[in-house]
Amino acid sequence: MVGAHGYDKTEAAYGRLCHHLANARRGRFIPFAAIRDDGVTTYRRDHFEDRDAFLRRVREMGRNYTRDKLAGQDLHIEVWCEAAGMLPQLDDVAEPYSVRAYSSGGFDSLTAKKDLAARICRIGKPTVILHLGDFDPSGVSIFDSVAEDVAAFVETDRPWGTIHVTFERVALTADQVRQYGLPTAPPKATDSRSKGWDGGTCQLEALPPNVIADILREAIERHISMVQLEIDRIDEERDRREIQTLLLAPPK
């Protein structure tokens, strides 16, 4: 709505939009399934009604067997974004490559930085972090700070010298703001980082979702071996057929 129709990105506009959308869903003008709502959180329970229910789950897992497409690559890749609400659409783009997407709402916390560095060292490959966030003083400053801290942690803790991490700002950048003619606003006067900022700021949501998807997909494919990816996809299909022949037949 912000990117395509110029909706104000304010709490008041957001409240009005939610109110109208809720009434439209109640009135059956908009299907309930058309809107994702992340308001409920729970924990997963892998409990089963009985043995047959467990076997049905195993057979379903066999039908949906998926290879880790990063396992055969020479590097590890992760996607990080500022807004948790954008995570599902980014994950849809990253999933076919077995790239995990993370929300960086707490990305600036020391624990998150150390956890990321520890994961990189445990995986044991050169790593690329693709980051998407708003083009503003706060977002850019946090990105630079995190990149510096995580790189330092990795350099200190890595088991061997070939492990390193590179941070890449995928979106939003000054060039993209100009390229797509995106609307800008002055930096917030209350943000202490605005003092050295040159020009306006822009929200990542100003880019249409399909454009964001294309930008992220291009960034992922630029870093991986497409030949290895195709080999993994072929092997995945072969593995899936073999796994299904090994599983028990459904109970009669």
Which DSSP state fits 202? B
Would the pLDDT of 234 be above 70? Answer: yes
What is the C-alpha R_g of the chain? Answer: 22
Same domain, 88 and 198: yes
- Residue with the two structure tokens 């900022």: 197
Same domain, 78 and 202: yes
Structure tokens at 68: 């880790």
Same domain, 63 and 18: no
How many structural domains is the chain composed of?
3
The boundaries of the domain holding residue 129 are 74-224
Same domain, 81 and 185: yes
Task: Provide CB contacts within 8 A for 129, sequence distance 6+.
Answer: 77, 78, 79, 80, 116, 147, 150, 165, 166, 167, 168
Task: Provide CB contacts within 8 A for 82, sequence distance 6+.
Answer: 103, 104, 105, 107, 132, 133, 134, 139, 204
Positive or negative: CA dihedral 243, 248, 249, 251? negative
Same domain, 20 and 130: no
Would the pLDDT of 100 be above 80? Answer: yes
- Return the pLDDT at 214: 96
Same domain, 152 and 192: yes
Would the pLDDT of 207 be above 80? Answer: yes
Cα gap 30→26, rounded to integer Å: 8
Same domain, 92 and 22: no
Would the pLDDT of 107 be above 60? Answer: no
Among the listed residues 91, 158, 171, 89, the one whose alpha carbon sits nearest the alpha carbon of residue 126: 158
pTM check: above 0.85 = no
Same domain, 14 and 114: no
Which DSSP state fits 99? -
- Residue with the two structure tokens 């200190």: 156
- Return the pLDDT at 235: 95
**70-88: average pLDDT:** 90
Amino acid (one-letter) located at 118:
A
